Structure 1
Amino acid sequence: MTIEVRGLTKRYGEKTAVDDLTFTVRPGTVTGFLGPNGAGKSTTMRLIVGLDAPTSGSVTVNGRHYARHPAPLAEVGTLLEARSVHTGRSAYKHLLALALTHGIPRSRVAEVIEAVGLAGAARKRAGGFSLGMGQRLGIAAALLADPAAVVLDEPVNGLDPEGVRWIRTLLKELAAQGRTVFVSSHLMSEMALTAERLVIVGRGRLLADTTVAEFVRSAGHDEVSVTSPEAGRLRELLAGPGVEVASDAPGVLRVRGAGAEDIGLTAAAHGVPLFELTPHRVSLEEAFMELTRDAVEYHAHGAGRPAEVAA
């Protein structure tokens, strides 16, 4: 089950929400969909399942447009807006209505309710659900038809730590079963733990389509923090082509271009004592912030550049 996006563009009047996007989401892996607010992520997900029509370009699911599948819910399960539920219905009746109108066995309702941890609240009205419970109900609806692919927009919103961990495990299990998993999130720490591939957009355009490991590695700038009573001498010893050494405090060096092992061996060979030798790897969040620096629609004061004010 492959999701193919080709030259996808969506305009709303003069606003271009999605701008010539091309990427592929493949089965068997969790693909994270990242971008700043207003980057076009939700619009792209709506286009995948036919809730919006593209201005140009195309998107297919397993070789067809979503609406042309005889049983669309069995192809792609979606969570785009968890609160799009009749507030007077219970969780059970909401899912039962979906099942009965799509030829899904009634027994499946109980299965997904149990799977998402809503068994104790199945008969309660959805209008009284917390944000986290609403997310669980939305995920239950996405899984109801046992789809070959899932498209989830911010599934961890409102979940407590246990719920976030559950989502992480669920997504990995779905991918391990050979399903296509496409999930957006603003939580970089979760994407680092969950996703294997990334599609990153900014201002509607594709910025990166790569693995998490490759993306973080390409950001470079791994750094080693070194504390020594002979920091000045060590700095001279480390100086050389490709090595950058900076200092923000007496006795403390920040070294780029040399690994912790090389620094430690150099210090030992010249009798320089070390109090600290700590490698710092670039995180997914740091790499993401660097890539999207010029694609953020609104900047807060104090974030390193002036705030942009909408006219």
Structure 2
Amino acid sequence: MIEARSLTKRYGAKTAVADLSFTVRPGIVTGFLGPNGAGKSTTMRMILGLDRPSSGSVTVNGKAYAEHTAPLHEVGALLEAKAIHTGRTAYNHLLALAATTGIPRSRVDEVIDVVGLREVARKRAGGFSLGMGQRLGIASALLGDPDTLILDEPVNGLDPEGILWIRNLLKDLASEGRTVFVSSHLMSEMALTAEHLIVIGQGRLIADTSVAEFISRASSGSVKVRSPHAARLRELLAGPDVTVSSAEEGTLTVAGLTSDRIGTIAAENQITLFELAPKEASLEEAFMELTNDAVEYRAPASGTGTAKPVAAPATGSNTGSETDSNPDVEVTA
């Protein structure tokens, strides 16, 4: 379990993370979302003791990361896949980690097989593709068989087979009762992998909720109906609190009635329906809507020119990108 309480990080006059509190629970995959510059990388670095909070605290399994006597057995992390000795083979990279943390050599062979690097295990990691580097980074995170995993963009550089593999791996690890905390910008994949979301913007908490609830908050609540008798159905559905519109023949968009009620009215009047579907926002649409005011870098609407910083809020918190003062986090242009 990861517990953050009033977590704050300042770099000079700039606030990257502001009074952030959340709990990442075991047994499910928790997604960590936010626009570039939102404070995600800084938050994960504070969880792992790489950055010290200006105020507040964060613990993993009840202790600060530095207080664990065998941290690699408690927490497996992937923040930067290429943070490896490029002259070492994949096998020797993992063996060096194992030797310094009391992990048996047999575990090195196990994780190499888990991540699918057996054929290249004796090749130098410096020649690996981005996807192979990601697999090696994930192997490093799994090496200590930890109860908690913190992964930043784990599908970056993976091919479709690799994306499916990491999706199933994360779900399997969570089903074993582990805490799985995953940051990603790939919304379609997060929708398939995560059950819970923690969303931040400009260093502050925007949402701490299930994926279903997050999407529901951004959904219109309307229902799409297709019927060969759309005109008649429209008359039957009309009411003071009901709005019915039609963008094409045979199709209605109904707001103010549930799909169950529409289906019942159609059945009572012997009206055939070809489609009856609540219109639900995608995770990407929900994310864009709920984080719109927290986007720090936004491209011009025309798609040309140079992206410019969005004005920071009047409160003065997070008055610049977390990357301005922290060289360890990503930069977008």
Whether TM exceeds 0.5 here: the answer is: yes
Hey, what does 1:163 align to over in structure 2?
162
Query: What is the percentage of aligned positions where both structures have the same residue?
Result: 69
Check the 8 A contact 1:198/1:211 in 2, yes or no.
Answer: yes
- Equivalents in 2 of 1:6, 1:276: separation in Å? 47
Structure 1 pair 243/308, CA: closer, same or farther in 2 (3 Å)?
A: farther
- Equivalents in 2 of 1:297, 1:213: separation in Å? 26
Determine helix, strand or coil for the equivalent of 2:297: coil
Structure 1 pair 298/239, CA: closer, same or farther in 2 (3 Å)?
A: farther
Hey, what does 1:202 align to over in structure 2?
201
Q: In the alignment, is residue 36 of structure 1 matched against residue 70 of structure 2?
A: no
Structure 1 pair 255/308, CA: closer, same or farther in 2 (3 Å)?
A: farther
- Equivalents in 2 of 1:84, 1:253: separation in Å? 54
- Equivalents in 2 of 1:54, 1:225: separation in Å? 49
Hey, what does 2:152 align to over in structure 1?
153
Q: 1:215 offset after TM fit, Å?
A: 2.3
Hey, what does 1:75 align to over in structure 2?
74
**Matching of residues 119-130 of structure 1 within 5 Å:** 119-130=118-129
| 1:267-297 CA-partner distances (Å, limit 9, x unpaired) | 4545666565444333322222221121112
Structure 1 pair 208/165, CA: closer, same or farther in 2 (3 Å)?
A: same
Residue type of the alignment partner of 2:67: R
Please, which moves more after superposition, 47-56 or 288-297? 288-297
Determine helix, strand or coil for the equivalent of 1:294: helix
Residue type of the alignment partner of 2:220: H
Hey, what does 2:18 align to over in structure 1?
19
Gaps of 5+ in 1: none
Residue type of the alignment partner of 1:101: T
Q: 1:265 offset after TM fit, Å?
A: 3.8
Residue type of the alignment partner of 2:150: V
Q: 1:7 offset after TM fit, Å?
A: 0.4
Q: TM-score, normalised by structure 1?
A: 0.91
Determine helix, strand or coil for the equivalent of 2:23: strand
Check the 8 A contact 1:4/1:61 in 2, yes or no.
Answer: yes
| 1:190-238 CA-partner distances (Å, limit 9, x unpaired) | 2222212111111110011112222223334233223456645543432
Gaps of 5+ in 2: 311-333
- Equivalents in 2 of 1:105, 1:39: separation in Å? 39
Hey, what does 1:47 align to over in structure 2?
46
- Equivalents in 2 of 1:230, 1:299: separation in Å? 45
- Equivalents in 2 of 1:181, 1:219: separation in Å? 25
| 1:64-109 CA-partner distances (Å, limit 9, x unpaired) | 1101111111111100000111111110111111111112112211
Q: 1:298 offset after TM fit, Å?
A: 2.1
Q: 1:118 offset after TM fit, Å?
A: 0.3
- Equivalents in 2 of 1:20, 1:237: separation in Å? 52
Determine helix, strand or coil for the equivalent of 1:217: helix
Residue type of the alignment partner of 1:8: L
Residue type of the alignment partner of 2:265: T
Structure 1 pair 38/242, CA: closer, same or farther in 2 (3 Å)?
A: farther
- Equivalents in 2 of 1:19, 1:50: separation in Å? 17
- Equivalents in 2 of 1:93, 1:267: separation in Å? 67
Hey, what does 2:185 align to over in structure 1?
186
**Number of equivalenced pairs:** 309
Structure 1 pair 301/237, CA: closer, same or farther in 2 (3 Å)?
A: farther
**RMSD in angstroms over aligned alpha carbons?**
2.4
Check the 8 A contact 1:222/1:282 in 2, yes or no.
Answer: no
**Matching of residues 80-99 of structure 1 within 5 Å:** 80-99=79-98
**Matching of residues 1-311 of structure 1 within 5 Å:** 2-228=1-227, 231-267=230-266, 269-270=268-269, 276-302=275-301, 309-310=308-309
- Equivalents in 1 of 2:289, 2:152: separation in Å? 23
